[in-house]
Amino acid sequence: MIDKDKALELAERLLKILSPEGGDSALLVFQRKLLEHIYKELLADVPLVFNGLFARMQYFHDNNDIPAELVRRLNTLRILCNKAAHEELSDIPAGAVSAGAKSIYELLRCVCPDLSYPPLEDVVKDAPELPRQSHSKKHSFHCVLKSWQYYMSGGRISGLEINAINEDDEEVSILLRDDNKNAGKARFSALSPSLWPYANLHCLQLSEVAGKANFYVDNPRTIIVLEPDFLIDASSIAECMDNNGSFPELYVLNRLFGEPSSERMLLGRMVNSIFDELIHHPDLDYLSLFKRGLAQMPIPMVALGQSCAMDIYREIESGHLEAVKAFCADVPDEDLLLEPSFLCPTYGLQGRLDLLFKKNDKYSIVELKSGKAHPNDVWPSQLYQVVAYNMIIRSAYGSGRLGSSSIFYSACADKPLRNVANMPLLEQNLLHCRNRIVGIMRLLSEEPRRFFDWLEKQDEKPYSVFSAETLQRFKRLKNGIRDFENEWFCEQVKRVIREIWYVKTGAAKSETQYGHNALWRQTPAEKNGKIIGKLAIEDYDQRDIK
């Protein structure tokens, strides 16, 4: 499985990292890196995309004859290395480093029986065995998907039965039941086409079944996150949701066509600019506010012409300015952030809020919307956008520090500020749509033709007017191209989507397994020299950071 020269090179690397000057914690981190490299070598010819060492190890062990005891020790080493990397160990067990080296060397001997490296054998011959570890029962955990099937009840599909391996190398069974009495709740069973073997799942708030070891069942607060390191923008998910449910295919469809700048689009950007300026400079006159906004978008504004610019100027002055001024005057002038960006691997989300401010030690969210206000509530897509931001802020600061969440309709004279209530059902629906988007992206990286052929057959009726027009545009375009053009298009899509996967979660042939997820997967020591740590803003003047 690995040729002798490569195995010898890896054994030499293992011996080099056993330098006693490094300290046990650092040595375990180095061993984890070496494990990543070994399993990438072992699976170099496998066409699957894996996110992380855990999934790679599980796949290789399942498909090759590796002694069960060695598998146990390698998984114990992986867990120990992860805890050392994330500084979760107060004391590293005596002999753990040499025991880990012994396990890695045995793996190399197993995949290359001709390997012999006496210098390393002398170092590890007296190493202890990695002990079995006891694990506490968890109701939230990461796991690697092994198999799944529909759960049947009363002769109909009523959920999913999942078999997986958790991070403690234990087999777990999870029953996710559809709530057939609640038509407004997404069905777990609909997730089945989006899953694939060895996908990563983050299971949150499951219930343990009494009397059945490692058997879990959903409850009203259960959340499942597919490939949590694959972050998706919250607003992009929200665009796929309306009163009729979720349409994850819109995530792709909306990106197939570019839209030129329009008067409504520039008006929205201008209102947002004025909003930001008034937060910090409440006494600025309207002409100065407009000029500052104009300086941020000169090219699209000039492209639309002077008449359009004057129409925007007058509409904001008559229909938005007073409401924005009144709101900004009431915002606390300290402890606020304009357009802060967040990454949230807990839920597989990322997003940029319009306004986040702290009051009474709680964080409140305000999302600015310059379009038509809902008659008495908020539009569904905007509701789900704020729900996603609530989840992100809760993950960052804790559930006890989440304040109010609102949408501010600047064009609404009566009650422009609308509260958004957060409920588990809304969060579950949002992440269900997100998970299906991940499944579509996975399909596009392997068989894009299947997705586009399916999309071509969809009826426009369930979609909103705008989305239906986009779907019709796609159908006309697809029907107008020849077979070889369609083949070329699908191949280009496949390459682009694979690049997105690699950027987010790491390339299969890179030295490290990480992409952007290195930001939270790697330790500060591993990131040293790659990013600027402990960087703080000392002073700022409007948009100029010093």
- pLDDT tens readout for residues 203-214: 999 999 888 889
Burial of 390 (0-12, 13-18, 19+ CB in 10 A): buried
Of 373-377, 441-445, 522-526, the range with the highest mean pLDDT is: 441-445
What pLDDT is attached to residue 546? Answer: 36
- Sign of the C-alpha dihedral, residues 75, 80, 83, 88? positive
Residues ≥6 apart with Cβ < 8 Å to 400: none
Asked if 80 and 112 count as a contact pair (C-beta separation under 8 A), the reply is no
- Per-residue pLDDT at 84 exceeds 90: no
- pLDDT tens readout for residues 42-62: 988 887 767 788 888 888 988
- pLDDT tens readout for residues 360-371: 888 999 999 999
What pLDDT is attached to residue 225? Answer: 98
Q: How many CB atoms lie within 10 A of CB 6?
A: 16
- Per-residue pLDDT at 137 exceeds 70: no
Q: What is the DSSP letter of 81?
A: H
Asked if 218 and 175 count as a contact pair (C-beta separation under 8 A), the reply is yes
Per the structure block, which two tokens stand in for 500?
Answer: 């997105």
Query: Hey, what amino acid is at 68?
Result: A
Give the DSSP H or E segment for 529: none
What pLDDT is attached to residue 524? Answer: 80
Confidence of residue 537 (pLDDT cuts 50, 70, 90): confident
Confidence of residue 344 (pLDDT cuts 50, 70, 90): very high
Question: At 419, is the secondary structure helix, strand, or coil?
Answer: strand
- For 197-348, list the strands marked E by DSSP: 200-204, 207-208, 215-217, 223-226, 232-233, 241-242, 245-246, 336-338, 341-344
What span, in angstroms and rounded, lies between the C-alpha atoms of 206 and 217?
Answer: 6
Confidence of residue 334 (pLDDT cuts 50, 70, 90): confident
Across the range 383-408, mean pLDDT stands at 92
Q: Which of the pair, 534 or 247, is modelled with greater confidence?
A: 247
Per the structure block, which two tokens stand in for 19?
Answer: 């330098």
Domains and CATH numbers, the chain: 4-124 (no CATH), 141-226 (2.40.50.140)
Asked if 61 and 125 count as a contact pair (C-beta separation under 8 A), the reply is no
Asked if 366 and 419 count as a contact pair (C-beta separation under 8 A), the reply is no
Of 8-22, 317-331, 528-542, the range with the highest mean pLDDT is: 317-331
What pLDDT is attached to residue 413? Answer: 83
- Per-residue pLDDT at 133 exceeds 70: no
Q: Residue 161: beta bridge partners?
A: 149, 175
- Per-residue pLDDT at 543 exceeds 50: no
What span, in angstroms and rounded, lies between the C-alpha atoms of 374 and 378?
Answer: 5
What pLDDT is attached to residue 62? Answer: 81
**What CA–CA distances, in Å, run from 483 to 132, 487, 493, 506?**
57, 6, 15, 33
Edge-first strand order for the sheet with 207-208 is 207-208, 215-217, 171-177, 156-166, 141-153, 200-204, 223-226
- Per-residue pLDDT at 122 exceeds 60: yes
**What CA–CA distances, in Å, run from 18 to 29, 126, 128?**
11, 15, 15
What pLDDT is attached to residue 523? Answer: 79
What pLDDT is attached to residue 303? Answer: 87
| Percent of the chain at pLDDT exceeding 70 | 95
Edge-first strand order for the sheet with 402-409 is 336-338, 355-359, 362-369, 402-409, 417-419
What span, in angstroms and rounded, lies between the C-alpha atoms of 224 and 141?
Answer: 10
| Percent of the chain at pLDDT exceeding 90 | 58
Residues ≥6 apart with Cβ < 8 Å to 115: 4, 7, 8, 11, 108, 109
φ/ψ of 506, rounded to 5, equals: 110, 145
Q: What is the DSSP letter of 212?
A: S
- Sole residue written with tokens 């950027």: 503
What span, in angstroms and rounded, lies between the C-alpha atoms of 366 and 337?
Answer: 11
What pLDDT is attached to residue 215? Answer: 95
- pLDDT tens readout for residues 512-532: 668 899 888 887 877 877 777
Q: Residue 171: beta bridge partners?
A: 165
What pLDDT is attached to residue 509? Answer: 61
Across the range 312-330, mean pLDDT stands at 93
Query: Hey, what amino acid is at 312?
Result: I
Q: Residue 141: beta bridge partners?
A: 203
Confidence of residue 544 (pLDDT cuts 50, 70, 90): very low
- Sign of the C-alpha dihedral, residues 278, 283, 285, 291? negative
What span, in angstroms and rounded, lies between the C-alpha atoms of 421 and 315?
Answer: 31
Asked if 429 and 390 count as a contact pair (C-beta separation under 8 A), the reply is no
Question: At 235, is the secondary structure helix, strand, or coil?
Answer: helix
Confidence of residue 540 (pLDDT cuts 50, 70, 90): low
- pLDDT tens readout for residues 419-428: 888 889 999 9
Give the DSSP H or E segment for 174: strand 171-177
- pLDDT tens readout for residues 463-498: 999 999 999 999 999 999 999 999 999 999 999 999
Per the structure block, which two tokens stand in for 453?
Answer: 């052929």
**What CA–CA distances, in Å, run from 29 to 34, 37, 522?**
9, 13, 10
Residues ≥6 apart with Cβ < 8 Å to 532: none
What pLDDT is attached to residue 134? Answer: 63
The chain-wide mean pLDDT, for the chain, equals 89
Q: Residue 359: beta bridge partners?
A: 362
Its pTM stands at 0.85
What span, in angstroms and rounded, lies between the C-alpha atoms of 10 and 324?
Answer: 63
Tell me the HSE value of 449 on the side-chain side, using a 13 A CA sphere: 7
Query: Hey, what amino acid is at 37?
Result: H
Per the structure block, which two tokens stand in for 379?
Answer: 């539009």
- pLDDT tens readout for residues 266-280: 999 999 999 999 998
- pLDDT tens readout for residues 224-251: 999 999 999 999 999 999 988 899 999 9
